[in-house]
Chains A and B, each alone.
Chain A
């Protein structure tokens, strides 16, 4: 009985400790690329040191992050789907959209390149992959990368190959999708940051290679958006703006540019440009 009482007491102490709401907690929804690459792990402790704000983030696709913003479940977004973001702001869900950094998308595929797309422009490459019915792994999760990929199929004058046998919609984050593509010998599209991280994790040993890159349409802009307090009264807009200002500050911008894996830069800062 004594033991039970002790347990009760311990739990009674534990519950309020866990439920305790800290004032300076900022909740962020972000894309998988900023988290998977380790960029946030590198930057956020610095942010917390400078501002005293305890930032917590959940890494999901941009589509889901925007949905969480619409539901008022987070305070700030760090995402990469400019079209959807502008609509989000225009509909009154977000304020102060600020561009912070960019990299580019690349199409990677098996080294043997079964569809022979190496060096082609994007549209031609996608057409060739579809024609050869070469396996293609899609994020399939309405993320920023997925939205971009869908727009590219359309730009190539094709319907999105939704039910095609060779088209796999994984519904997973970018690193998972790259791993699946490697296992299945499939092509896929990724942001360069996550690609470098993937090479780093696998120590350069991978059956995948970059086949298409450098096309202007493959530009990949990351921005932060504060959730509109007029729509979501609980949104901590002041903390969100403090975060955005810090990310756009010379110090953070330099840290973004200095973040390297395998000696390569993953993101290029471009706040205020």
Chain B
């Protein structure tokens, strides 16, 4: 779809809003037309019944006069009645059909002998408005052979109903035009919002990842939709950044070990003379390859964790055994490094989590504590002067507590610690603080812990243990 045809009349006609207003108008028309027809029908019926009753009464009175007195009395009465009012119409005919009295000019064909009565047009003889009007009449055959017609002018009622019809039709017209017009305007406005959004979407798809859908600030449904979409776009942008960072880092940081691997292989090829030297060189090459694989796996795991798709692997995990197991695994390594590993303060806390990931996170924290707890100045921990002066023995303490509905895992050492500036950087990918360059490892340990924490809705903080470093892993229960 190009920008030019989105605002076209055809596009407007195809919108949901326009369709809905058209259907609404049609439904409204059907209902009101039915109601109106019922009203008119009822009115007609009412008028007809009224007129019929009045006419019947009058016919009865007049025939009574003819019977109790004589035809002449009837003729006089009819003549008298014909004189004044112009809505009451009479026609008295003799047996031969000639007019005896009455204000009707001639005998309406409908009421001629044989006719029962009904609506008929008549012309008003006298007066300026001598146009044709309608009247309703009854005809009776008089006993001596004459014929009496009594009628009422119904032009006013007819006018009323005619006006009603005209008004209704006009109303319908207004409803149709107004409804469709409003629908048209509404869909134009909706369409223009949608077009703006599509335009923004196209720009984002074209690569402008920082682009967002416009928000008008009215808080309407489009703003709400735009807000959700924008939140999604922000997340996507984050992920894309993450991905870009990962690939940048892979490119950057894997070059070093790949280069090292190449150097080792080249050096072996150049210098190794004996089979023993050759196999030692190849062994080193394989070790370098393994190191690359480890880094690669760690990177992929972090990237996967940051994409956040482990919901289905979560289960209720008691944390204390996880910590105790990790401590048990690392206790000999810590001891070798001259550190006492203490994991006694473990509360009974269970959380919804992926046990393997939590285990790995805890192990990374302990691994980190052992690495940084013992080294910085080339001295084993127990040889460090500060340690002896303060009288504390080098140790790593692992604790688990429940604080404000959150599980708090702390892994604290009393080694040299890291500066406040470095603490913030330490959880970033590949950040290996200068002091640790000589240590084995991928530099991904803490960023993995941070990713695991985020994935479980928690966080990793590095704090000053005065002295030493305290890693605090907080996870929601």
To the question of whether A and B form a pair in one complex, the answer is no
Binding site for B on A (CB under 8 A): none
